[in-house]
Amino acid sequence: MSKIWKDGQFIESTDATVSVFDHGLLYGDGCFEGIRIYNGRILKLRSHIVRMFESASAIRLQPGYSIDEIEEKVRETVKINNQKDGYIRLVFTRGKGTLGLNPFLCPEATVFVIVESIKLYPEEMYEDGMSIIVAKRPRVPAECLDPKVKSLNYLNNILAKIEAIDAGVLEALMLNIDGEVAECTGDNIFIIKDGVISTPPTSSGILHGITRRLVMEDIAPAIGLTVQERTIKLDEVLGADEVFLTGTAAEIIGVSHIDDIVIGAGKVGKITHALEDQFRKMVSENAPED
């Protein structure tokens, strides 16, 4: 049984509850971060918390704690649960309020930290590659809901995820309303063609992924490669030599098929494997916490 830090105190996970009047539950009004622990170190903890506060600021949510205080509480929760490898879920909700939409009638935010184990995809997929589909549902435009805000309202992604599950796979690629490649339901996407790695720019309507940035700034350069950000069309993805996804829970995982199209040789490619290996080396030896 794990312990949850919630609103200033540690409680047993079985006793951790949120009010039915909490606007995070009623309206998806809040934000969250998923963070990984490797060998006792919390990967990019500070970056995740900074992004969390940027999300909160964008929706004018005041959590009632500073960045330093939240970092301290996350570390305490990891320590009290004696978690050496695992997953952290940090959540800010608007808090308990009325049944109306007005967020400013919620006097105090709800804040909690969960520390648990996680296994997003089967291990064999990291060797053989995963099959995905192209979702029929487009990504919500940034003008409507900025994807930089990692909000509690993931219904757009969930409906695309349902498309994937109905098709017998675990992930779906989402396009923006202009037909450009955006991201998957929970992961960012990269393609490799003739040795060149590319990924959609944030202007395509994607989350500013922490693992995405880690690949661009640390993982790829460590093995002598660079990543370019550019607008990508679907036919470029389908014709790529390699495709891989990145995310906190997913880490780095290669794609073998998209719909009925075989990607490259139909298995995880050489460059993707090299990136995976470098990622594993980094997090096992000295995962950066900044």
Give per-residue pLDDT as tens, 28-43: 999 999 999 999 999 9
- The pLDDT of 157-185, averaged and rounded, is 98
Domain boundary residue, one of 70, 93, 116: 116
- Contacts for 9 with CB less than 8 Å, ≥ 6 apart: none
Element (H, E) at 44: none
Judge whether residue 155 has pLDDT over 90.
yes
- The pLDDT of 224-230, averaged and rounded, is 97
The residue segments making up the domain with residue 146 are 123-286
Q: What is the mean pLDDT of the chain?
A: 97
Same domain, 146 and 264: yes
For the chain, the 3-state helix, strand and coil shares in percent, each to the nearest 5, are 35, 30, 40
Judge whether residue 120 has pLDDT over 90.
no
Write down the pLDDT at residue 39: 96
Write the CA distances from 263 to 10, 80, 120, 176, integer angstroms.
47, 44, 22, 22
Provide the pLDDT confidence category of residue 166 given band limits of 50, 70 and 90.
Answer: very high
- The pLDDT of 68-96, averaged and rounded, is 97
Write down the pLDDT at residue 260: 96
- The pLDDT of 69-85, averaged and rounded, is 97
Judge whether residue 229 has pLDDT over 90.
yes
- Contacts for 103 with CB less than 8 Å, ≥ 6 apart: 23, 29, 59, 60, 61, 94, 97
Catalytic residues: 150
Provide the pLDDT confidence category of residue 286 given band limits of 50, 70 and 90.
Answer: very high
Write down the pLDDT at residue 1: 78
Judge whether residue 10 has pLDDT over 90.
yes
Same domain, 130 and 21: no
Tokens at residue 154, please?
Answer: 């993931």
Same domain, 209 and 80: no
Write the CA distances from 222 to 39, 234, 244, 251, integer angstroms.
21, 29, 18, 17
Number of domains in the chain: 2
Write down the pLDDT at residue 119: 86
Judge whether residue 139 has pLDDT over 90.
yes
Same domain, 251 and 273: yes
Same domain, 74 and 209: no
Same domain, 103 and 237: no
Same domain, 232 and 276: yes
Nearest to 159 by CA among 189, 175, 142, 137: 137
pLDDT of 181-207, one tens digit each?
999 999 999 999 999 999 999 999 999
Provide the pLDDT confidence category of residue 254 given band limits of 50, 70 and 90.
Answer: very high
| CATH number of the domain that residue 189 is part of | 3.20.10.10
With a pLDDT cut of 90, the percent of the chain lying above it is 98
Same domain, 134 and 96: no
